[in-house]
A and B are shown apart, each in its own frame.
Chain A
Amino acid sequence: MKNSLGREIPETIKGYYKEVKPFTGAYDNMADIIKTQVRAKSIMPDEKKVLDNLEEVIKKSGLKDGMTISFHHHLRNGDYVVNMVMNQIASMGIKDIKIAASSIFPIHSPLIDHMKSGVVTGLYTSYMSGPVADAISEGILENPIIMHTHGGRSRAIESGDIKIDVAFIASSTCDSYGNINGVYGKSACGVLGYAISDAYYAEKVVAITDNLVSYPVCPIEISQDYVDYIVVVDKIGDPEGIVSGTTRITKDPIGLKIATLAAKVIEASGLLKDGFSFQTGAGGISLAVAASIREIMKDKNIKGSFMSGGITGYMVDMLEEGLFDSILDVQCFDLRAIESLKNNKSHQPMTATMYGNPHNKGAVVNNLDLMILGATEIDTDFNVNVTTGSNGIIMGGSGGHSDTAAGSKLAIVVSQLFKGRLPVIVDKVTTVSTPGETVDVLVTERGIAVNPKRQDLIAKLEKSKIKVMSIEKLKKIAEGITGKPMEIETDERIVAAVEYRDGTIIDIVKKIKR
């Protein structure tokens, strides 16, 4: 069958964890639901939660063959916890484990051996890059993995679509009764926004820490009433990989040109006024857009309400300059963001569900005026691919892409018109991550295309003498330079099911023919 974007979705997908529901529209599947129930088992006043080692924790947690365990990705490419736990599980002879990790990075390459040996047989994630992503694309697992959005992952956990048996929570700081924060310790990572649903809805919750402190820790982000066991290890991560350092604004003239054009679009949209809210990624062009917005706000004395999402030092600077009232932070990208979260009351943490879950009583993304997004590919229907490369190999995932595009008043994709030898605009994207109906504008160095459904915006841009062209024309310009790439050939085997934030299947990823 075809979903509403015309993507072919099989009636049944072997090994898919629930009934196949094709995507029918970005706002077509809102919820009136009862969230899943979760077991709470009380402990006696004198019971201790700190156990001797990981083996004891795993035994006590009741982990068995076929169960699902979860991890957060706040330690990013410096995370030691996934590998540490999986090695222990493997050594205990446990098999057929499904991993629900909010993201997978190159550091997690030892998972490949666990997949080969049958220790790991399933994966749910919102983003993956590196050797594990390559191995999945090549069909290392018998059943497809499930890719969510950040908000969609919380939705899946809270609805019971994903039932987590044991959540292993990497904890930068934890006290002896299980109160956790991410802002202190040698492996500080900042907010723990992506771990909160896991803590609230898993059958068993294990805090793994390298900074056990006396009770009670301050501040508390995940509280003791959700945590079953605590285990202390030497190191939960490598600080070098946890925070990528200060992200820099691009100096590439093409990136800057795109940012300048995007800023003009934003100004012409009329959204850039007192109370303005926005989110942008940490990439060079996105930060350059932020820099342009910063200048306009200073020039025109505009005071914004909030910035949200993954937070960099650049946004902290804007907060401290008084350009915005607050930050809603789901993930800290650098040390400056962690420091700000620790010290500035206007810099608040948020959970992934508060950030982007469509099936709650209102997510932060719904309050965003502007979202700046990237794209690997965008098609003439404005559908965006950030999941697979043009070669069909998984190299990313939606993360918050679809959530913010759906919620924000203006979703702008910024991209070079061609990358390397490949045009960014195609007839049909290799994989749909974000549906075109939620994407408003594409800004490239060679022109701006507006989604035809936004005639109001087209009129505003024309009034401001901003030249708008059709996305088909932009595509032609790109192909005039690069030529038209050949389509990739795929096998019939499905290696990933890509879920939209509401849990419907927006696309599937098939194995690449070598």
Chain B
Amino acid sequence: MNRLRRTILFMPGNNPNMIQNAGVLGADSIILDLEDSVSIEEKDAARDLVHNALKHVDFYGCEIVVRINSPSSPFGIKDIQVITKAKPDAFMIPMATEEDMEEICKLVGKIERKEGILENTIKLIPIAETAYSIENIADIISASNRTIAVLLGAEDLTADLEVTRTKEGQEILYARSRIAHICKTYKIDAIDTPFADVDDFEGLRKDTIRGKGLGMTGKAAINPRQIEIINQVFTPTIDEIEYAQNVIKAMEEAKGKGKGVFSYQGKMVDAPIIDRAETILEKAKTAGVI
């Protein structure tokens, strides 16, 4: 595990003050947004600002993702042409289709070569926010070998489905489950949709736990005040860490005694339990809690 993507924070791409401070807020990844948070008349200025920020601002090791405008809009391709030169970690593609992913992958590769950037440096994160993309998410992921995660966009998805978006999120149960399963298949991250009520922290915690329970590996935040709770939910707890450490210790002791099978706290420990323990410890280590 090279990098955690517990919290992936949206930041408007047209606000220099917020961009300057983005790296200190505690998010694992920052999305510098050129799409919805930037009005049509500011698209060019925001693109230049994000380009310069990528070159000059210290983000203190955060992953920097740039959400481009839709490739079918007048701005999307230009976004890629300009921003690729500043080497973001990844692009986020709204309403992504297989064709978009292929086309963008080729274009980014071309610019990487031209700019002397190591090929495949810049990754892609499609947003699944239509019924079509939920159903075809495996094809969208595999359309590019740069895909590192999928973000579920529940607001657009529920609009597409013509269903009401609720805090409880029953209407996106299928989408969450499907994205979680398919991302796991491709060994990439499944990023849960943002929680829209920025003043309801209890609601945020419940929603994050719900997504995690279905297999989502991280969650988008639309306000810095949401970061801490999301990080807490996706970081192994002290009890989980202790349990995992004890399982590994028991396994090593059993090995030392030449035992293939062993029990811990009265329960048989088999491969899935050891795998889970190892994953917890790896996550905890990457999060800096052990």
- Which residues from chain A sit less than 8 Å from chain B, CB to CB? 251, 253-254, 256-257, 260, 445-446, 465, 480-481
Q: Is B224 positioned at the interface, with any CB of A under 8 Å from its CB? A: yes
With both beta carbons as reference points, the residue of chain B lying nearest to A446 in the complex is identified as B24
**Across the interface, do A254 and B58 meet the contact criterion of CB distance under 8 Å?**
no
Residues of chain B lying within 8 A (CB to CB) of residue A257: 24-26, 224
Residues of chain A lying within 8 A (CB to CB) of residue B289: 465
**Across the interface, do A481 and B20 meet the contact criterion of CB distance under 8 Å?**
yes
Of all A-B residue pairs in the complex, the 8 with the closest CB atoms, nearest first, are: A253-B224, A445-B24, A254-B21, A446-B24, A253-B25, A257-B25, A257-B24, A256-B225
CA distance A480 to B20 in the complex (A): 12
With both beta carbons as reference points, the residue of chain A lying nearest to B228 in the complex is identified as A260
Would you give the shortest CB distance from B123 to chain A, in whole angstroms? 26
Per-residue interface assignment for chain B, residues 1 to 40, with 1 indicating a CB less than 8 Å from any chain A CB and 0 otherwise? 0000000000000000000110011100000000000000
- Which residues from chain B sit less than 8 Å from chain A, CB to CB? 20-21, 24-26, 58, 60, 223-225, 228, 288-289
Residues of chain A lying within 8 A (CB to CB) of residue B223: 253
A-B contacts, 15 listed (Cβ < 8 Å): A251-B225, A253-B25, A253-B223, A254-B24, A254-B25, A256-B224, A256-B225, A257-B25, A257-B224, A260-B228, A445-B24, A465-B289, A480-B58, A481-B20, A481-B58
CA distance A445 to B227 in the complex (A): 15
Secondary structure of the A contact surface, majority rule: helix
CA distance A446 to B24 in the complex (A): 6
CA distance A251 to B24 in the complex (A): 16
Would you give the shortest CB distance from B76 to chain A, in whole angstroms? 29
Residues of chain B lying within 8 A (CB to CB) of residue A253: 21, 25, 223-225
With both beta carbons as reference points, the residue of chain B lying nearest to A477 in the complex is identified as B58
| CB contacts between A and B, total, < 8 Å | 25
Residues of chain B lying within 8 A (CB to CB) of residue A251: 225
Residues of chain A lying within 8 A (CB to CB) of residue B26: 257
CA distance A480 to B228 in the complex (A): 27
With both beta carbons as reference points, the residue of chain A lying nearest to B223 in the complex is identified as A253
Would you give the shortest CB distance from B59 to chain A, in whole angstroms? 12
Would you give the shortest CB distance from B25 to chain A, in whole angstroms? 6
With both beta carbons as reference points, the residue of chain B lying nearest to A416 in the complex is identified as B21
Residues of chain A lying within 8 A (CB to CB) of residue B60: 446
Would you give the shortest CB distance from B49 to chain A, in whole angstroms? 16
CA distance A445 to B228 in the complex (A): 15
CA distance A257 to B22 in the complex (A): 11
CA distance A257 to B26 in the complex (A): 8
Residues of chain B lying within 8 A (CB to CB) of residue A260: 228
CA distance A256 to B198 in the complex (A): 14
Residues of chain B lying within 8 A (CB to CB) of residue A465: 288-289
Would you give the shortest CB distance from A497 to chain B, in whole angstroms? 38
CA distance A260 to B58 in the complex (A): 21
CA distance A67 to B190 in the complex (A): 76
Would you give the shortest CB distance from B199 to chain A, in whole angstroms? 9
Would you give the shortest CB distance from A422 to chain B, in whole angstroms? 14
Would you give the shortest CB distance from A463 to chain B, in whole angstroms? 14
Given contact pairs A256-B224, A445-B21, a sample of 10 additional A-B residue pairs in the complex whose CB atoms are under 8 Å apart: A253-B25, A253-B225, A254-B21, A254-B24, A257-B25, A446-B24, A446-B60, A465-B288, A481-B20, A481-B58
Residues of chain B lying within 8 A (CB to CB) of residue A256: 224-225
CA distance A260 to B231 in the complex (A): 14
CA distance A445 to B17 in the complex (A): 14
Would you give the shortest CB distance from A425 to chain B, in whole angstroms? 16
With both beta carbons as reference points, the residue of chain A lying nearest to B56 in the complex is identified as A481
CA distance A251 to B223 in the complex (A): 10
Residues of chain A lying within 8 A (CB to CB) of residue B24: 254, 257, 445-446
Residues of chain A lying within 8 A (CB to CB) of residue B21: 253-254, 445
Would you give the shortest CB distance from A311 to chain B, in whole angstroms? 26
Would you give the shortest CB distance from B270 to chain A, in whole angstroms? 33
Residues of chain B lying within 8 A (CB to CB) of residue A480: 58
CA distance A251 to B224 in the complex (A): 10
Would you give the shortest CB distance from B197 to chain A, in whole angstroms? 14
Q: Name the residue in B25, B223, B228 with the highest tally of chain A Cβ atoms < 10 Å from its Cβ.
A: B25
CA distance A281 to B186 in the complex (A): 52
CA distance A446 to B20 in the complex (A): 11
Would you give the shortest CB distance from A174 to chain B, in whole angstroms? 45
Would you give the shortest CB distance from A292 to chain B, in whole angstroms? 10
Would you give the shortest CB distance from A381 to chain B, in whole angstroms? 25
